[in-house]
Amino acid sequence: MTIDRLDLAGKLYQPGVYPAVARVASGKRSESPLVVDLDPTTFCDLACPECISGKLLNQGRFTPERLVALAGELVEMGVRAVILIGGGEPLAHRGTRRVVTVLGEAGIAIGVVTNGTMIDRNLDELAAHASWVRVSVDAATSETYRSVRPDRKGGSAFDRVIANMRAFARVRTGALGYSFLVVARRAADGTVESNHHEVFEAARLARDIGCDYFEVKALFDEGHHIIGLGDEMRDSVARQIEKAQSLIEVVNSSTMDSVQRDDGPVQPKAYHRCGVTELRTLVTPSGVYVCPYHRGNPAARLGDAVTETLPEIWRRSDRGIVDPSRDCTFHCARHGSNLELHEIAAGRGRPVHDDDQDLFL
């Protein structure tokens, strides 16, 4: 049985993780996280107007020595998968290459979310060890890229990003994804600026580059609530996605599914504890947090990975400090996984898979 890339609830039933999943479903604490999102740095070379972490950027990084030590602690804890993400641009840290090597040689699955400008500096390590690399492009042309992903001088790194993706596609052993965030903003004169018209062309470019899949995502506000699209724009995106499916595997994020259903910005939750916080966590230079949705939130901070070891933080931290019914009214990608944990607790879980395919829960 093949597990869909975004079937996060289905991934809970892989034999390599299910014992820990069942333990958490029963109400017990986990001995260590299974998946860790790691921000090596808060620095970024781009200045995207809609960046969800804009207020958190350029405020610090791990030293190269501490970053490598963190990689060793992740191995020690038995973490199964690590996603290098941000925050800032993970490949901007000169210690990231060593982290990828340490984790990869230990057999830990590695995912990388990047803007693509520095793939060339990390090419050998990513090609050897990354399970997947997903590049946030959000455009099909240099002009649109300059609007949604300008560099600090207002320029466009589009050609460099596409060249880096082509180079990686030639040597990679893992998957390569092209990510497209649908942006719509109102200009000072009242007109709406958007990149939505380039969805299909971007999918075609992704195929030509040699990408394995093309992901379409919806925009968040600062509180992580989904920003909807008008009917005309939403229909245009839906038509382009349908057309693109003949070219490449198209992955609709849960946020885009919600936009297409016109669910609205709020996702109510009836439960008071997030079981997924026992299975995943976020490590950044400013602290360890229960999840990426609460990056930078002092009320969701578990500890300080600069001054404390991760095993120490995990042993003493309370992962129940966030109440989803109160603190997570946004659309959460792991909501389905939390509901599935309740099904497992009630004895209504699914059969365990025969093998591990995708440990990025």
**pLDDT score recorded for residue 54:** 75
**pLDDT score recorded for residue 106:** 98
Give percent above pLDDT 90 in the chain: 83
Alpha carbon of 90 to those of 77, 111, 140, 225, 252: distances in Å? 22, 11, 23, 24, 24
- Residues recorded for the chain: 361
Q: What is the mean pLDDT of each run of 10 residues along the chain (361 residues)?
A: 86 97 97 97 93 81 96 98 95 97 98 98 98 98 97 96 98 97 85 93 98 93 82 93 97 82 88 98 97 96 97 97 96 96 98 96 96
For the stretch 151-175, what's the b/e string if a residue is b when 16 or more beta carbons lie within 10 angstroms of its beta carbon? beeeebbbeebbebbeebbeebebb
Which has the closest alpha carbon to 131: 115, 155, 114, 107? 107
Q: In sequence order, what DSSP letters do the residues of 191-240 get, joined into one string?
A: PEEESGGGHHHHHHHHHHHT-SEEEEEPPB-TTSPBPP--HHHHHHHHHH
**pLDDT score recorded for residue 1:** 65
* Residue 249: strand pairing partners: 213
32-260+278-322 CATH fold: TIM Barrel (3.20.20)
Domain boundaries, the chain: 32-260+278-322
